[in-house]
Amino acid sequence: MNLTEALRSSSPETTISHIPVHQDGSCNGLQHYAALGKDKLGAIAVNLVAGEKPADVYTGIANRVMEIMRMDAQKDPSVEPDAARARLIVDQVDRKLVKQTVMTSVYGVTYIGAREQIRRRLKERGVIPNDSELFGASCYAAKVTLTALGEMFQAARSIMNWLGDCAKVIACENEPVRWTTPLGLPVVQPYRKLGRHLIKTSLQVLTLQRETDKVMVKRQRTAFPPNFVHSLDGSHMMMTAVACKRQGLNFAGVHDSYWTHASDVDTMNKILREKFVELYDTPILENLLESFEKSFPKLKFPPLPERGDFDMKEVLESTYFFN
């Protein structure tokens, strides 16, 4: 209704609108990993660098997957089994096929998880009716998609592995992983093994599940990278919300989608960029490692992963950072 009123008005630019306009991050988890790793290639892919039009990371990965498959398709199927799979599936590669895998890569999606995601997309299309061929094609497509992701986001993968390795060191001491966000919020991963407790009554025996004192090492390890990055995007959201309040902007947000009124969109866009740069002006990984070493002085943690030379100040000029 607001839009209709504006279009019918003789001066649309003066029409008062109450509709919240949302600005979304470009695969926000990968934006944070690119910033953590100062990764220039990754930064370009997720709009940390200014461009004439928004970069689409999903299309970028799909294009790289197609390049790899076209090269594989030219090989001899009798020597390279992937050649036949590449020929079968290359025409099905598009943004939608790889999107879920790219999105969940920041949550540590496994090869099996990626395979199932892609298998479901292919099954929806009904282009490979044979279940055996569908499975083989899904295995191949998942492998190639993860390869393309590793090429484009090398820094993200190394940081993800480093975070997981640190968590394993701590969890192997039967301690949960703890950290403090840049805003000072303490976080503890509560994953502990469950034990069974039997209660006998006159009618039946009840089984209760209760947490034990033993931590789940694997869960602590796999959950830490996505949880840590979520704590960073939550910090960015809070910093943005506080700055918006100080400037008199109405603010609402859901994960990496931030809303304000149409007249304030440009102002919020500027605040989003400024607060992201402010967040990553702090040595986040160095502070994390230092806190681990202080809490567990007898444990040996892996060295910090190598990082690139991306200048975070470039984000200030990227109007498509959130768009």
Catalytic choice (39, 99, 233, 275) = 99
Q: Is residue 209 part of a domain?
A: no
Average pLDDT of the chain is: 91
pTM for the structure as a whole: 0.88
Q: Does residue 183 fall inside a structural domain?
A: no
Domain-located, residue 2 = no
Catalytic residue, chosen from 72, 233, 256, 275, is 256
Domains identified in the chain, total number: 1
What integer pLDDT is reported at residue 121 of this predicted model? 94
pLDDT at residue number 1? 58
The larger pLDDT score, comparing residue 178 to residue 127, is at 178
pLDDT of residue 109: 85
140-195 pLDDT per residue, tens = 999 999 999 989 998 899 999 999 999 999 999 999 999 999 999 999 999 988 88
Q: Choose the weakest-confidence range: 81-90, 138-147, 202-211, 281-290.
A: 202-211
Per the domain annotation, does 56 fall within a domain?
yes
Model confidence at 78, in pLDDT bands (50, 70, 90)?
A: confident
Look up 256 and say whether it is catalytic. yes
DSSP string covering 157-199, please? HHHHHHHHHHHHHHHTTT---EEE-TTS-EEE---EEEEEEEE
In a domain, 207, yes or no: no
- Of 24, 56, 165, 264, the catalytic one is 24
Is 99 in the active site?
yes
257 inside domain = yes
Q: How far apart, in whole angstroms, are the C-alpha atoms of residue 108 and residue 93?
A: 22
The closest alpha carbon to 255, from 145, 106, 48, 44, belongs to 106
Domain assignment of residue 186, yes or no: no
Per residue in 251-272, pLDDT tens? 998 888 999 998 899 999 999 9
Characterise 125 by phi-psi region: left (phi > 0), alpha (psi -120 to 50), beta (else).
alpha
Tokens 């590449």, located at residue: 86
pLDDT of residue 197 exceeding 90: no
**pLDDT at residue number 87:** 93
- Specify the CATH number for the domain of residue 250: 1.10.150
Residue 207, Cβ density class (10 Å: 0-12 exposed, 13-18 middle, ≥19 buried): exposed
**Which domain covers residue 106, as residue numbers?**
19-175+218-317
- Residue 247 maps to a domain: yes
Residue 5 pLDDT greater than 90, yes or no: no
106 pLDDT more than 90: no
Residue 218 pLDDT greater than 70, yes or no? yes
